[in-house]
Amino acid sequence: MVHRFTLTTPLYYVNDKPHIGSVYTTLAADAMARWRRLQGDWVCLITGCDEHGLKIQRSAAAAGVPTRDYVDRMAGHFAALWQRIGISHDRFVRTSAPRHHRLVHEFYERVRSNGHIRLGQQQGWYCVACEEFKDVDSGEDGTPPRCEIHDRPLEWRDEENLFFCLSHFQEPIAQLVEQEDFIGPASRRREVQRFVEAGLRDFSISRVNLPWGIPVPHQPGHTFYVWFDALLGYVTALCDPDGPQDLATALGSGWPAQLHLIGKDILRFHAVYWPAMLLAADLPLPERVFGHGFLTREGRKMGKTMGNTLDPEALFAKVGVEPVRWYLLRDIQFGDDGDIQQKRFLDLVNNDLANTIGNLVNRTVSMSRRWFGGCVPPEEKQQDDAPPHPLAAVAGATTERVSRCFAQQDLQGAAMATLALAEATNGHLSEQAPWSAIKDASRRDAVAAVLYGVLEATRLVGLCLQPLVPEFSNRLLVQLGCDPLDSRHDGLPPGAWEQLVRWGGLPHGQTLPEASPLMARLELDGDL
């Protein structure tokens, strides 16, 4: 039976071009989508752009271009970068598209008819960068308070708005956030619980005098608050662009999502506001929301004023895609904050990919070609009661560990388990020393068995690497004479992964291409 698996990145705010944090979330989502495809699931990876709001309107004005032209340009940057780095998204949605407007209107009318919308007066301090009212007081001297996230003065607002009655859902949301599996990692769940325990208050879902937004039906001068609009982009994305754009179609096309991947700064919107909105419209809830941490650089927060931002396009042009994927997914515990360090970046990429794995493949293939006619040597015949090959046991434990890690969004754990198998395989090769044993003709069969075991374990390393570093993984598999995997598209039948990782899958006598480096060592003259 084929299982559906819908997962999403945030819909990225297009006030500026993609930054390294956007890349991090999207690479993680891509790895998880690829993993699910290898399990034979029907996968829909959704990404895209959130294109409304005052911040975008002001950014366009500052750039001296019409807002429509501005969002088209910025959305183009995101789409081009995801293509450049091989993101395997199935849907790219833009919230300024007319098809999204139609679905937002349908959703709003359903929530309104269910009695969860009211008209009221909104007074308070507003952060344009967050697109959110803040529960803060003025300074003692009457000066505007500052946003603790963006360190910018807040703006006072006093206007008539439509409100979503979040307070109607105090009890169901409190029960939802108590569920262990709904919010990840566990450390984030307690933060959300405290917010809910303080009491849910109705929030404004419309703005006045903001033309760049979706008009609210029957409410002249009002446009939808960007978060009320943007969250529905996940639903719009499931409707085929050329087909019906309605909630019923989305429900039959992959909703609810199994996983929302987001940054921790927008966890409350996804774990509290969004489920309440869905309940108000009688729609099913997503299964899990995972909020990862922030990235710093050399121990310092990144920012334009500090001059230490990492331009993703320049970074990929300088070092390539696979090194960045490996470093971010291997070095940072997904869910925690992470610090990008240049020396560690170079050390991990060179030691793990070029040395530990690359050299293992190179020397084992070279020995097998030299001593066994350019082919995979035969596996040692085992008696029925013989113990399993020592590497077979390690490999079996590794593939099981990798599966558990991906199921728990533990990308670092999956990477480390795979690397540990490569290290164990290297250790076994050094311990058996086939380069010495081959000098004794009577030990040729034993050498063949050693090399087969090492090649087979290396094949399993390559398979486990596929979601994390797909291009590197495929170069490894091709070096062993195997077909590359396509984790970018659905295609593997259910149960195929278990067959792929079963010990003994590397055919004896298979031709081995001439060994070549899987990855050149990285050397940098300047900064990343």
CATH of the domain at 107: 3.40.50.620
Last-in-domain residue among 276, 292, 308: 292
463 residue type, one letter? L
Exposed e or buried b for every residue in 278-295, given b needs 16+ CB within 10 A? Answer: bbbbebeebbbbbbbbeb
- By the 10 Å C-beta count (0-12 exposed, 13-18 middle, 19+ buried), 129 is classed as middle
pLDDT (tens digit, 9 = 90+) per residue, 350-375?
999 999 999 999 999 999 999 999 99
Arithmetic mean of pLDDT, 152-171: 91
Mapped onto helix, strand or coil, the DSSP state of residue 301 is strand
Same domain, 141 and 201: yes
Give pLDDT, residue 130.
75
Mean of pLDDT values over 140-163: 80
Q: Which residues contact 220 (CB under 8 A, 6 or more apart)?
A: none
Indicate the average pLDDT of the chain.
94
Residue 395 three-state SS:
helix
430's tokens = 């050094």
Whether residue 39 contacts residue 303, with contact meaning beta carbons closer than 8 Å, is answered with no
Are residues 287 and 326 located together in one domain of the fold?
no
Q: Give per-residue pLDDT as tens, 461-474.
A: 999 999 999 999 99
330 and 288, same domain (yes or no): no
366 shares a domain with 252? no
Q: Is residue 37 part of a domain?
A: yes
Total count of domains within the chain: 2
pLDDT in tens, 41-52: 999 999 999 999
Instruction: Answer yes or no: do 248 and 338 share one domain.
Output: no
Domain check: are 69 and 209 in the same one? Answer: yes
Do residues 267 and 192 make contact, with C-beta atoms less than 8 angstroms apart?
Answer: yes
Three-class secondary structure of residue 324 per DSSP: helix
Is residue 52 one of the residues assigned to a domain? yes
Does some domain include residue 301? Answer: no
Among candidate residues 292, 312, 335, the one where a domain is terminated: 292
Task: Identify the band that residue 389 occupies on the pLDDT scale cut at 50, 70 and 90.
Answer: confident
Cis peptide upstream of residue 185 (ω within 30 degrees of 0): yes
Summarize pLDDT for 483-492 with one digit per residue, the tens.
999 999 877 8
Output the domain CATH number for residue 460. 1.10.730.10
Structural domain includes residue 494? yes
pLDDT for the residue numbered 124: 78
Amino acid residing at 469: V
What is the distance between the alpha carbons of residues 35 and 403, in angstroms, rounded to a whole number?
9
Closest CA to 513 of 467, 487, 488, 476: 476
CB 484 within 8 A of CB 321: no
Residues 22 and 59 placed together within one structural domain of the fold: yes
Q: Are 472 and 465 in contact (CB under 8 A)?
A: yes
Percentage helix, strand, coil, to 5, in the chain? 50, 15, 35
Phi, psi values for residue 446, rounded to 5°? -65, -40
Which residues of 178-226 form beta strands (DSSP E)?
Answer: 183-184, 203-204, 206-208, 222-224
The pLDDT assigned to 385 comes to 63
Q: Is 201 exposed, middle or buried (0-12, 13-18, 19+ CB in 10 A)?
A: exposed
Shared domain for 173 and 287, answered yes or no, is yes
Among positive and negative, which fits the CA dihedral 36, 38, 40, 43? positive
Query: Given this model, what pLDDT does residue 296 score?
Result: 97
Quick one: 185 and 284 in the same domain? yes
For residue 200, being part of any structural domain is answered with: yes
Nearest to 49 by CA among 105, 109, 94: 94
CB 24 within 8 A of CB 10: no
Report d(CA 521, CA 67) in Å as an integer: 44
341 and 278 in one domain? no
CB neighbourhood size of 185 (10 A): 18
Domain-located, residue 314: no
Examine residue 41 and state whether it is found in any structural domain, yes or no: yes
Structure tokens at 393: 């046991």
Closest by Cα among 379, 303, 298, 386 to 344: 298
Dist CA 56 CA 49 (whole Å): 12
Q: Please indicate, yes or no, if residue 511 is contained in any of the structural domains.
A: no
pLDDT of 499-522, one tens digit each?
A: 999 999 999 999 999 999 999 999
Does position 417 have pLDDT exceeding 90, yes or no?
yes
Residue type, 201: R
Regarding whether 202 and 276 lie in a shared domain, the answer is: yes
pTM for this prediction: 0.94
Show the domain range for 490.
Answer: 321-500
pLDDT at position 383 is: 58
- What is the number of helices (H) and of strands (E) in the chain? 21, 15
- Which pLDDT value is given to residue 381? 63
Query: Does residue 262 share a domain with residue 411?
Result: no
User: Tokens 């979706």 map to which residue?
Assistant: 214
